[in-house]
């Protein structure tokens, strides 16, 4: 499902217009992104938890030359599925 299909599905289930659903989805995604950027986790009941996970600097190898390189540390987004969503996916 892409963003357009998600907006269509939101409109069918909520009774809102596609424009309103698009604005709501964009606002929600922006709020999640902003919160993660600030270092806060985002918990959505019955759906899951978005959080940041820091991966420290590590050494790697260039596969073409075999030369050792340093891979910079970075934050990655982690998502942990809520039990209610897991149960629904198993049904």
Give the rounded percent of residues in the chain with a pLDDT score beyond 70: 100
pLDDT tens profile 8-29 = 999 999 999 999 999 999 999 9
Q: What is the mean pLDDT of residues 72-77?
A: 94
SS3 letters across the chain: CCHHHHHHHHHHHHCCCHHHHHHHHHHHHHHHHHHHHCCCCEEECCCEEEEEEEECCEEEECCCCCCEEEECCEEEEEEEECHHHHHHHHC
Q: What is the pLDDT of residues 35-63, one digit of tens each?
A: 999 999 999 999 999 999 999 999 999 99
């Amino acid at each position: 499902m892409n963003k357009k299909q998600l907006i269509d599905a939101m409109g069918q289930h909520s009774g809102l217009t596609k424009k309103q659903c698009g604005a709501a989805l964009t606002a929600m995604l922006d709020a999640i992104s902003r919160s993660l950027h600030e270092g806060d986790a985002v918990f959505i009941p019955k759906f899951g938890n978005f959080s940041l996970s820091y991966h420290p600097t590590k050494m790697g190898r260039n596969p073409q030359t075999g030369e050792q390189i340093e891979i910079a540390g970075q934050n990655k987004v982690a998502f942990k599925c809520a039990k209610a969503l897991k149960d629904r996916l198993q049904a």
